[in-house]
């Protein structure tokens, strides 16, 4: 059985030593001192370790059951959910006017990582509710907010997001679900939605579905899509639950992983829906929540990597097999623990250096979200918009890869269900697909985000990297191991961007053929920057006499590994990118 | 439901246009003309497509059942197995003296690829029997061969390989299974073996277990291991089945994939065993079959990639989503097929260029095995020994990666069981682990194979690459797109080898820390060489007026993609390798 330890010490390090959150001029950040964040993280960690993690295997093995239109979540999920909402976790970052705790996104990110590591399928029920609450908060009328938010924030009700239909996933312009205006101002929603996470279950009293649909007679394509609130039970004016709406779960998907989350086919049969936001502005309403949603999926990716790494490490320190070639390490035992072997370490260091770099990157992205929302800082908001496809695409690709590496550490045991590693691989796999496939993330990055503010935002990013390097170049200890590799990697990224500008003008496919590599190249530069920042912080701490020298020396060694062994990938990505569209597009579709 | 088409045309191309098998001076190859190989491949393809492939999902969903000590394979497996052995496929390459067809390994490889693509879990029953037959043929006495081989070749009996125990996988020196000499010359085998593929099932009348065990009082470690034949039913002198031996299946593993193959815990309780080969020479006996066994696992890796790619391609040509940015391709439809999008093509080309290169590499390796065995060509045998860890490690790592890429092509559909892609991912995953994990392959490559014949064998490989480049450098069409990138990649490989020689002397960990990257670097050079050879063959065919221009132009385009987009990885591998042991080994084990 796999285990999980909450990485609260590492989180505190990133929050305070690296990001200095309580010193930041962002509304709400002044209360985030070490004691405060520690109390929150420890509590969340307890919930994750004691309540959620033991249900992870249960959820995987039992899955969800649909019987007579009712979906039952796995055993224990309902009690765990009650404990979670009882602790106020479902409204952690929500508006206090509606009962939320009003904390910044950074605390949602930090606690969310632990909940995801412990039980990703479970945490998804909260994730979808969060998306629905955010949409209602951002676009709902005062009445809608009053009517739905308090019960969603308290966790009495949950929520969903209904976008996909059988004929349309990425291309939402193809949506067929209809919303016909009714005399009472509501709409009759008719159509089928698929892959609706948490679409139906027994954790909450009501489920508030947010549904994209087309009002007949509206514009073609994405310009004719509106967003609707479609509750499972209609909410009466006094707040009590009224009629059961005409919507139902038509089936559960059988999936590779996340078995504990109910992935539903949802059938809307003239269901009563309420327009949220403006007519035909449904896509815009969706987009406002997209940054948070995509960051949270990036988080899921490395969170699965984290828990997989923890279990791989425990195995490597315990399993005896072979001898250290440079000298026996455990003479009293039949063999040495496999962590002595260089190739096992190479594998573990790949995992560790990614996960810790990813955490810093995600936390940084989360502070940028807060800076954008809470401080109305347009530059921060644009910067995080640029980074979001990287946070989602790179962290989930590498997060999945990390689970595969961790599984490999266990050899044959990694392939058996008993050790639990294979579940992490299967669960992590979805993060590369949902909330926009990683291919779509790369198109967003190259096709939209690079051109943000006429290219100024990406230049801001380069300036930020350059500024950090320049600011610290007198630090000789930092320079050789961290700043120089970061500079080289950043140059590769700039060269790739310049290639896109020059060649993408001639043929857009020159840019689009390299979008995926660009996303990864960008991700490596971001993790390189994070490791350089962590190295700086740890060097400063050691210099200031921090007595936890092992912790900081370990950070430095892990960072050096990333710079030496992972960052060289940028050269390969650049070479692929600059080979252009020709090799990619040469074949006629029929000749594949 | 996934589908499968037998790639016989591509196989014929590699056998004849590229490898010119019938023109090779290898005993048994003279009969391998186009007509003959075509007949075999078409028949094998039919069996794969019509009989085995439809059972692939059945096997995954039903798995094997253990009831009262009896293991039942999934529905339909027994009938399919009877059809397979009825066609003579179980003895395809076995000695005609015992009823085999006596064909070269290359035909086993080509047909085996199709059987594995169609149903890997099923084909494993044959794979294990093949290993056991080979061991008996190579090391058994005349009586043992006569007693076991005819019934195994006919498929009436199957076989297994019993190495792993709970406390030992890679490190077989830790084996505890005992073999106590009996008065009648047999041995009483006692111990527990785990992860025994096809250990117990209902496909055959008898199961011939080959078991590694220690005779009490023998040398410590691997020098005290002997190999035993331990039949499920003792074979009487007249060839009939006698007593049930005291061995049993104690349980089935619950695994991530290959559910259709019974992975057993095998308990030997004083079971009657017969020494095969010499006392304490069990490891040597195992090693003689290792090359074939490891090649066949490399084959499984890319075979799963092949079938996954076929299904990804079909989806990409069918699924309508979005529009080609350079101009609408399907104006009569609601959207264009997703194959128009550059990032979808990038993904498909990664899959296609790997699988086709891998097939050429595996087939080439197989001809080297034949040259070694059938012609007693020591140089060929050494060369293939050098290449075996690359064939196993690289082809399974990249084969698995290919299944993940293919799954990604399908977006959300790829995550559902309905489309079948996720099964390919789960099944392919084991190939990176069994028959020696890929980490162990990389140690074999760097720790043993590089030093083969004092380094002469690896120099032979470099000479072979150089020779090919030199021989063809006047071919300007080949030079720029194929020979130049191959030369650069090969130089990276040589530089890495030189680094190991120089720095590995000072500290073996400098070599061992780079072993995994070296294995991949080597793999890319091999696939680069294969693509250069295929390009040469296709250019020659076009020049000679071959009318199938589309086929050859497609080969050239696919090869150019590999050279431009995959081969640059060698630079990253070299950079990782030359960063040495320091970043990998810096952390104390306790500080991870």
Is the predicted ipTM greater than 0.85, yes or no?
A: yes
Topology at the third CATH level for domain B159-281: Butyryl-CoA Dehydrogenase, subunit A; domain 2 (2.40.110)
d(CA A130, CA A153): 8
Nearest Cβ partner for B583 among A348, A565, A592: A565
| Contact residues for A116 (Cβ-Cβ < 8 A; gap 6+) | A123, A299, A300, A303, A304
Rg (C-alpha) for chain B, rounded Å, is: 24
A569 contacts B572? CB cut-off 8 A: yes
Q: Is the distance from CB of A190 to CB of A268 less than 8 angstroms? A: yes
For residue B279, is pLDDT > 80?
Answer: yes
A169 contacts B557? CB cut-off 8 A: no
Determine the pLDDT at residue A56: 98
Residue keyed to tokens 């990782």: B576
d(CA A387, CA A362): 10
d(CA A155, CA A149): 10
Mean pLDDT over A457-479 rounds to: 97
pLDDT band at B274 (very low <50, low <70, confident <90, very high): very high
Nearest Cβ partner for B343 among A429, A516, A579: A516
Q: Which of A300, A583, A590 to mutate to test the interface with B (most CBs of B within 10 A)?
A: A583
pLDDT band at B288 (very low <50, low <70, confident <90, very high): confident
Which residues from A are below 8 Å from B513, CB to CB? Answer: 342-343, 345-346
A-B contacts (CB, under 8 Å) = 259
Q: Which residue of A has its CA nearest to B344?
A: A439
d(CA B504, CA B456): 18
Look over chain B and give the mean of its residue pLDDT values, rounded to a whole number.
Answer: 97
Burial class, A467, CB count within 10 angstroms (exposed 0-12 / middle 13-18 / buried 19+): exposed
Which residues from B are below 8 Å from A253, CB to CB? Answer: 416, 418
For residue B234, is pLDDT > 90?
Answer: yes
Determine the pLDDT at residue A286: 85
**What is the secondary structure of B272-330 as a DSSP string?**
EEEEESSTT-HHHHHHHHHHHHHHHHHHHHHHHHHHHHHHHHHHHHH-B-S--TTS-S-
Tens-place pLDDT, residues A85-144: 999 999 999 999 999 999 999 999 999 999 999 999 999 999 999 999 999 999 999 999
d(CA B192, CA B221): 18
CA distance A125 to chain B (A): 18
A579 contacts B171? CB cut-off 8 A: no
d(CA A449, CA A493): 15
C-alpha torsion B92→B117→B351→A391, nearest 10: -140
**What is the secondary structure of B438-453 as a DSSP string?**
HHHHHHIIIIIITTGG
Selection from A418, A541, A32, A562 nearest residue B265 by Cα? A418
For residue A572, is pLDDT > 80?
Answer: yes
Selection from B427, B422, B387 nearest residue B302 by Cα? B427
Annotated domain spans of chain B: 8-139, 159-281, 437-581
**What is the secondary structure of B170-186 as a DSSP string?**
S-GGG---EEEE-TTS-
**What is the secondary structure of B142-167 as a DSSP string?**
HHHHHHHHHHHHTTSEEEEEE--BTT
Q: Which of A396, A572, A573 to mutate to test the interface with B (most CBs of B within 10 A)?
A: A572
Determine the pLDDT at residue A494: 98
Using a pLDDT cut of 70, give the percent of chain B over it: 100
For residue B411, is pLDDT > 80?
Answer: yes
Q: Which residue of B has its CA nearest to A437?
A: B411
B174 contacts A335? CB cut-off 8 A: yes
Rg (C-alpha) for chain A, rounded Å, is: 24
d(CA B557, CA A587): 7
d(CA A478, CA B575): 20
Q: Which residue of A has its CA nearest to B264?
A: A416
C-alpha torsion A355→A360→A361→A366, nearest 10: 120
Is the domain A8-139 a CATH 1.10.540.10 member?
A: yes
Rounded to two decimals, what is the model's pTM?
Answer: 0.98
Determine the pLDDT at residue B287: 82
Residue keyed to tokens 């014949």: B453
Are domains A8-139 and A159-281 of this chain identical in fold?
Answer: no
Bridge partner list, A72: A65
Q: Is the distance from CB of B283 to CB of B225 less than 8 angstroms? A: yes
**What is the secondary structure of B546-574 as a DSSP string?**
-S-HHHHHHHHHHHHHIIIIITTHHHHHH
Phi, psi torsion values for B522, nearest 5 degrees:
-60, -45
Q: Which residue of B has its CA nearest to A222?
A: B322
Residue keyed to tokens 């004092």: B454
d(CA B429, CA B427): 5
**What is the secondary structure of B391-424 as a DSSP string?**
HHHHHHHHHHHHHHHHHHHTTHHHHBGGGSHHHH
d(CA A36, CA A15): 12
| Contact residues for A491 (Cβ-Cβ < 8 A; gap 6+) | none
Annotated catalytic residue, options A113, A292, A422, A435? A435
Nearest Cβ partner for B579 among A325, A439, A564: A564
For residue B286, is pLDDT > 90?
Answer: no
A167 contacts B342? CB cut-off 8 A: no
Residues, chain A: 592
Q: Is residue A543 flagged as an active site residue?
A: no
A439 contacts B344? CB cut-off 8 A: yes
CA distance A592 to chain B (A): 7
Which residues from B are below 8 Å from A571, CB to CB? Answer: 568, 571-572, 575
Mean pLDDT over B431-442 rounds to: 97
Determine the pLDDT at residue A14: 98
Determine the pLDDT at residue A157: 98
Determine how β-strand B157-162 pairs with β-strand B178-181.
Answer: unpaired
Alpha helices in A27-155 (DSSP H): 34-46, 54-62, 77-86, 105-118, 120-139, 142-153
Q: How many CA atoms lie within 13 A of B332 on its CB side?
A: 0
Question: Residue B417's Cα: distance from chain center in Å?
Answer: 25
| Contact residues for B354 (Cβ-Cβ < 8 A; gap 6+) | B302, B305, B398, B399, B401, B402, B527, B562, B566
Determine how β-strand A157-162 pairs with β-strand A65-67.
Answer: unpaired
Nearest Cβ partner for A415 among B345, B433, B508: B433
Tens-place pLDDT, residues B68-108: 999 999 999 999 999 999 999 999 999 999 999 999 999 99
For residue B572, is pLDDT > 90?
Answer: yes
Mean pLDDT over A247-276 rounds to: 98
Q: Which residue of A has its CA nearest to B444?
A: A343
Determine how β-strand A70-72 pairs with β-strand A65-67.
Answer: antiparallel
Q: Which pair of structure tokens corresponds to residue A351?
A: 């995992």
CA distance B242 to chain A (A): 35
Burial class, A60, CB count within 10 angstroms (exposed 0-12 / middle 13-18 / buried 19+): buried
Which residues from A are below 8 Å from B584, CB to CB? Answer: 342, 345-346, 349, 561, 565
B587 contacts A565? CB cut-off 8 A: no
A439 contacts B408? CB cut-off 8 A: yes
Q: Which residue of B has its CA nearest to A518?
A: B343
Selection from B84, B435, B425 nearest residue B293 by Cα? B435
Which residues from A are below 8 Å from B565, CB to CB? Answer: 576, 579, 583-584
Q: Is the distance from CB of B354 to CB of B398 less than 8 angstroms? A: yes
Determine the pLDDT at residue A289: 85
d(CA B274, CA B261): 26
B565 contacts A509? CB cut-off 8 A: no
d(CA A544, CA B122): 63
Phi, psi torsion values for B162, nearest 5 degrees:
-110, 100
A422 contacts B256? CB cut-off 8 A: yes
Q: Is the distance from CB of A387 to CB of A447 less than 8 angstroms? A: no
d(CA A316, CA A410): 7
d(CA B253, CA B271): 22
pLDDT band at A287 (very low <50, low <70, confident <90, very high): confident
d(CA B279, CA A5): 49
Q: Which residue of B has its CA nearest to A176?
A: B334
pLDDT band at A288 (very low <50, low <70, confident <90, very high): confident
Q: Is the distance from CB of B368 to CB of B380 less than 8 angstroms? A: yes
Mean pLDDT over B14-25 rounds to: 98
Look over chain A and give the mean of its residue pLDDT values, rounded to a whole number.
Answer: 97
A557 contacts B255? CB cut-off 8 A: no
Tens-place pLDDT, residues B98-127: 999 999 999 999 999 999 999 999 999 999
Q: Which pair of structure tokens corresponds to residue B295?
A: 């090649």
Selection from B227, B101, B216 nearest residue B159 by Cα? B227
Determine the pLDDT at residue B99: 97
């Amino acid at each position: 059985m796999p285990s999980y330890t909450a990485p609260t010490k590492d989180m505190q390090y990133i929050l305070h030593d690296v990001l200095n959150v309580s010193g930041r001029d962002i509304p709400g950040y002044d209360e985030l001192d070490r004691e405060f964040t520690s109390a929150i993280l420890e509590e969340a960690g307890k919930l994750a370790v004691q309540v959620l993690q033991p249900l992870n295997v249960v959820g995987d093995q039992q899955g969800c059951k649909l019987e007579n239109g009712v979906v039952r979540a796995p055993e224990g999920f309902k009690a765990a959910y009650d404990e979670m909402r009882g602790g106020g976790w479902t409204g952690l970052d929500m508006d206090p006017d509606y009962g939320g705790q009003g904390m910044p996104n950074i605390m949602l990110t930090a606690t969310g990582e632990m909940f995801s590591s412990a039980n990703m399928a479970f945490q998804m029920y909260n994730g979808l509710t969060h998306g629905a609450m955010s949409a209602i908060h951002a676009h709902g009328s005062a009445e809608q907010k009053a009517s739905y938010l308090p019960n969603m924030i308290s966790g009495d009700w949950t929520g969903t997001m209904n976008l996909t239909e059988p004929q349309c996933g990425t291309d939402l312009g193809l949506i067929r679900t209809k919303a016909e205006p009714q005399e009472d101002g509501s709409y009759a929603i008719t159509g089928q939605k698929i892959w609706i996470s948490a679409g139906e279950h027994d954790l909450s009293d009501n489920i508030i579905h947010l549904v994209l649909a087309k009002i007949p007679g509206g514009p073609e394509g994405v310009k004719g899509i509106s967003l609707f609130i479609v509750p499972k039970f209609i909410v009466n004016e006094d707040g009590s639950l009224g009629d059961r709406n005409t919507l139902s779960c038509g089936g559960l998907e059988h999936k590779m992983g996340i078995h504990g989350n109910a992935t539903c086919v949802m059938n809307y049969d003239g269901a009563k829906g309420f327009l949220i936001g403006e007519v035909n502005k449904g896509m815009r309403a969706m987009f406002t929540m997209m940054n948070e949603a995509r960051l949270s999926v990036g988080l899921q990716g490395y969170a699965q990597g984290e828990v997989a790494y923890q279990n791989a490490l425990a195995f490597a320190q315990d399993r005896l097999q072979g001898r250290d070639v440079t000298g026996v390490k455990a003479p009293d035992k039949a063999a040495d623990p496999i962590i002595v072997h260089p190739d096992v370490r190479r594998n573990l260091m790949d995992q560790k250096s990614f996960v810790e770099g990813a955490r810093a990157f995600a936390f940084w992205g989360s502070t940028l979200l807060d800076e954008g929302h809470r401080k109305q800082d347009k530059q921060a908001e644009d910067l995080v918009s640029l980074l979001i496809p990287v946070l989602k695409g790179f962290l989930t690709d590498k997060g999945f890869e990390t689970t595969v590496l961790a599984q490999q550490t266990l050899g044959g045991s990694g392939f058996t269900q008993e050790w639990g590693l294979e579940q992490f691989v299967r669960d992590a796999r979805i993060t590369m697909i949902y909330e926009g496939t990683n291919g779509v993330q790369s198109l967003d990055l190259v096709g939209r985000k690079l051109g943000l503010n006429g290219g100024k935002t990406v230049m801001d990013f380069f300036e930020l990297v350059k500024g950090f390097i320049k600011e610290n170049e007198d630090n000789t200890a930092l320079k050789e191991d961290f700043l120089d590799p970061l500079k080289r990697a950043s140059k590769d990224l700039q060269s790739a961007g310049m290639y896109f500008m020059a060649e993408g003008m001639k043929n857009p496919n020159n840019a689009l053929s390299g979008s995926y590599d660009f996303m990864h190249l960008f991700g490596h530069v971001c993790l390189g920057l994070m490791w350089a920042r962590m190295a700086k912080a740890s060097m400063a701490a050691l210099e200031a006499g921090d007595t936890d020298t092992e912790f900081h020396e370990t950070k430095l060694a892990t960072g050096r590994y990333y710079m030496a062994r992972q960052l060289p990938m940028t050269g390969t990505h650049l070479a692929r990118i600059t080979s252009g569209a020709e090799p990619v597009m040469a074949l006629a579709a029929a000749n594949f």
